[in-house]
Amino acid sequence: MTVRRDFKEPARPRSDLVIGREELCAGAREQLVGGGSVLVHGPAGIGKSTILRSLAADYGEAVRTVLRCSATESESHLPFLALADLLGLVVDEVADRLPAPQRTALESALTGRGESTLQRDGLALRLAVLSTLRALAARGPVLIVADDLQWLDPASAELLGFAARRLGGTPVQMLCAVRTHTEPQGQEHDRYLSAAPPDTLAVRIGPLPRAQIAELLDHRGYTGLPRSTVRDIHRTSGGNPLFALELGRALFESTTPPSPGEPLPVPTSLRALVLNRLEALSAEARRTLLVASAGARPTLTLLRAAGRHNAEAETAQAAALGLLMTERDAPYVRFAHPLISAALYAQASAQERRAAHAALSTAAGDPIERARHLALASTGTDPGVAGRLGEAAAAARDRGAPSVAAELGLLAARHTPAGATPAADERRLQAAEDALTAGETDFARDIAHEVLARATEPADRVRAWMVVIDAAGHAMAEVDAVFPQALTDAGDDPRLLTLVHYQLAWRALLVEGDFDRAREEGALAAELAARAKDRRNELLALAFQAQAETLMGHPNAPITIKRALKEPQDPRVACDHNGAGSARFRWLIMSDQLAEARKTISGLLREVRRRGMVEAEVHFLRGLAETELRAGHCGRALDLARESLRLARDTGIGEAASAMLTSLAEAAGGEVERALTLAREAVGRAEEDGDVLYLSRALAALGHAQLVAGDAAGTVGSLRRVRELEEGLGVTDPARGRWQGDLAEALVRTGELAEAQDVIDATRTRALRLGRESVLAVLDRAEALARAARGENEAAERQLTSAQDRLARLGYGLEEARAAYALAGLRTGKPVPTSYDEAARLFRRCRAMPWLRQVETATVTEAAQPPLAAAALDTLAATERQVAALVMEGATNREIAARLFISVKTVEATLTRVYRKLGIRSRVDIVRLAAGRHSA
């Protein structure tokens, strides 16, 4: 693709880097490997050339000859230039195979000597190109790589199209890129497909999502840009990589950040690229478009009310030039690309911008919009303007638009004169808190530091410190130095001390992993808030105390939850992710009340979405996904978990927690490899943040994914770490992480039965005390597997049957299916027809695809045991053969020990060696091997 020469190279060029196009490239590679051709198309700057280079580099090594051309607009009038690029270096290799008239015509076209033209030598030239490609293909596969087909000179395009349509059955493939301008549903690329081989796959390149634009900016060296700025870059660029990189470069190199409420500054290079059609517009039409670019959702009615009386004709003129979208019956005036709007605004003078905003400040129907335009039309401080902006910010907050409220709050602070009430810093702090609610943590932190640089009032300083701490999220260890300063600023003011001790409670939980200390700090914060008559923060502190008590299995948890739910309530606290509603949800789900838990978390999620509380939305999406996972609705859980992870990555909020929960959902209903990757990411992030609380959760997810993947030893390693961490943390409620059954099961698989029983016994004591019925049922399932490994098959079968029934009654669909699967494995080898059918049915009902694949594998193994496996019995030592023989007879470990005059531990150790030598996992497999020997 050719762009204007005034573009600067990015900070760290990576011409072969393909971000966010993995699936698309995989499909194109598959097409090439299958012998087909590929046409990549999309608008300017979307990344076609990058993808073309990547595909050519990957596939070019598989062919003998690669022919390349890359056209430019300035050279498109030169005949046969692209043909010379393609064939100029190779034609001599096959020239002697061409008939003389074809050779003469082709040499004339390629060298420019002579007077060869399509009109004069059309047939000879067409046949010469076709013959040349066939001759090259006779020596090995040929790949034609052509970029920017739209700039090919017409003669070359005609000759290439003629050959392409006639190369069927010849190993010649085309990999091409062309610029198209239509919407995805358009057919502009069809005319290029007609000049390509019949088996060509058309691949449209669309815009990148925000997370991948952020990744691209980081790869090019534009690091450290606030997330809110990256969001604006994505919006302004429309997801176009080239536009995003140019905007990122301009902002990265700029010493002045963009003002709140205004579009991003657009560099000259991009203005020239997108505004070259403005010259055809009249001066009045340009003014109309400037007013439209300043508005949030401009309509023809709004433009006329703002004094643009000929708006209809002027916008129609702009649409004809491709500057505006032409949509029948559409209520809004839409620019063809967001960058056009931003470039128009950036090109205007400050006076012209203020005039546009002044006109809109009276024309806009929405009071929030009127206030924003009034601010952008005004200069200096003005208490009236500041007051109107403050009211607009409050209205935006009530509407669930905290990001807009933050923007308006900063504008209000800018126009607030000294000595006014509320003061400018108070408005800035409210804007920072709104930014936190919207998930714009970098933006909030920057505002707080700006306030701290000059504020002297203790209340303002403590409030700013709280923003800094909140913006750190789970990485609270990074802001340890803040706490002494905040305590000093708080003095003996109970209202300010409430804020600090509330954060100290979180620090005790996340950084120190000390539940007792966390509970004490939460209780102290609640007491201080009550003394200060600060009901909002008292409710938050009580909710925290309830959460801590729930997680540590403290008997007071239900009482504290009731205190936190007492009237009077603060509506925003009630649906806060750290509020009483969240604490109640956690208590419900740990108490096996899945239906009530789902109802509670669904209501909370609806409310925070209405209010625009992004951090709470991430949190509650995880909670709903966890509820669905417990209920065995694995597909629904996976969708919710992935949504939570996408939002977490977009905002930088709770990424470790969302990766952890998504890992569990992938292991249940998605892809096990993806589950392992996400769990390892969660572990890494938790370790990096110093977050011991989530480290144990992440390790539990990793252990579970390893168990599903069949890595019992890895599971044991991960979950032993969880056991150590939770003992150190003082977590006594096994319903918190529910990893104990997985650890016991993995220990059974590795032959460590004594430790497995110890885990079961210790956990059962705690689960009985707290009444955790589902945990007890899962422990019974694990214990049944341990019994089966010891040869107590009848008792194991009874225990598994009971566990499955109890899990079904509690509504734990996936755990019920796992019990059925274990029961089927126990019965394998007995005369029970279709032993795995029940497990398969239950896993299918749950959409538990990884588990269903295990069932299918087990069914195949049961149906056809490899004959060579039976011969492996002969490799055992004498004692090992004796033990194996008694197992085949159905003897228990205790019976084997008595008959061979050895201890039960020796029997267990011997069986472990037998399993290892034979490559099997259980006593049942020994019976299968014996059956294989006898049938042979």
pLDDT of res. 12 = 38
Structure confidence by residue, pLDDT tens digits, 226-236: 777 888 888 88
Residue 866 has pLDDT above 50, yes or no: no
pTM above 0.75, yes or no: no
pLDDT at 483 over 60: yes
First to last CA, the chain: 68
Q: Kindly tell me if the per-residue pLDDT of 546 is higher than 70.
A: yes
Give percent of the chain above pLDDT 70: 90
Across the strands, what pairs with 203?
40
In 3D space, the residue among 108, 114, 72 whose CA is nearest the CA of residue 87 turns out to be 108
Give the pLDDT of residue 388. 93
**Residue 213: which H helix or E strand, with range?**
helix 210-219
Give me the pLDDT at residue 869, please.
44
Mean pLDDT of 1-23: 48
Rg from Cα positions in the chain? 35
pLDDT, tens digit (0-9, with 9 covering 90-100), for 253-268? 877 777 666 778 788 8
Alpha carbon distance 251, 455 (integer Å): 28
pLDDT at position 327 is 62
Which whole number is the average pLDDT over 69-85? Answer: 82
Output the pLDDT for position 337. Answer: 82
756 membership: H or E segment, kind and range: helix 753-770
User: What's the mean pLDDT when you consider all of the chain?
Assistant: 86
Reply yes or no on whether the pLDDT at 93 is more than 80.
yes
Question: Which range has the worst mean pLDDT, 70-74, 335-339, 795-799, 868-872?
Answer: 868-872
- pLDDT more than 90, % of the chain: 45
Query: Dihedrals φ, ψ of 464, to 5°?
Result: -65, -40
* Residues 301-339 pLDDT 10s: 999 999 999 999 999 888 888 888 866 556 788 888 888
Contacts (Cβ under 8 Å, ≥6 apart) of 499: 462, 463, 466, 486, 490, 537
Do the beta carbons of residue 213 and residue 19 sit within 8 Å? no
Residue 876 has pLDDT above 80, yes or no: no
Who has greater pLDDT, 531 or 925? 531
Question: What are 596-627's pLDDT values in tens digits?
Answer: 999 999 999 999 998 888 889 999 999 999 99
Mean pLDDT value of segment 510-537: 92
Higher pLDDT, 697 or 910: 697
Closest CA to 302 of 380, 370, 205: 370
Write out pLDDT tens, residues 362-418: 999 888 889 989 999 998 899 999 999 999 999 988 888 888 899 999 999 999 999
Q: What is the pLDDT of residue 330?
A: 62
Residue 67, classed as helix, strand or coil, is strand
Quote the pLDDT of residue 928: 65
For residue 186, is pLDDT > 70? no
Burial label, 36 (beta-carbon count in 10 A; 0-12, 13-18, 19+): middle
Mean pLDDT of 442-466: 93
For the segment 904-911, the average pLDDT, to the nearest whole number, is 79
List phi, psi (to 5°) of 185. -80, -5
- Contact assessment for residue 400 and residue 610, using Cβ atoms and an 8 Å cutoff: yes
Higher pLDDT, 516 or 835: 516
Q: Does residue 595 have a pLDDT over 90? A: yes
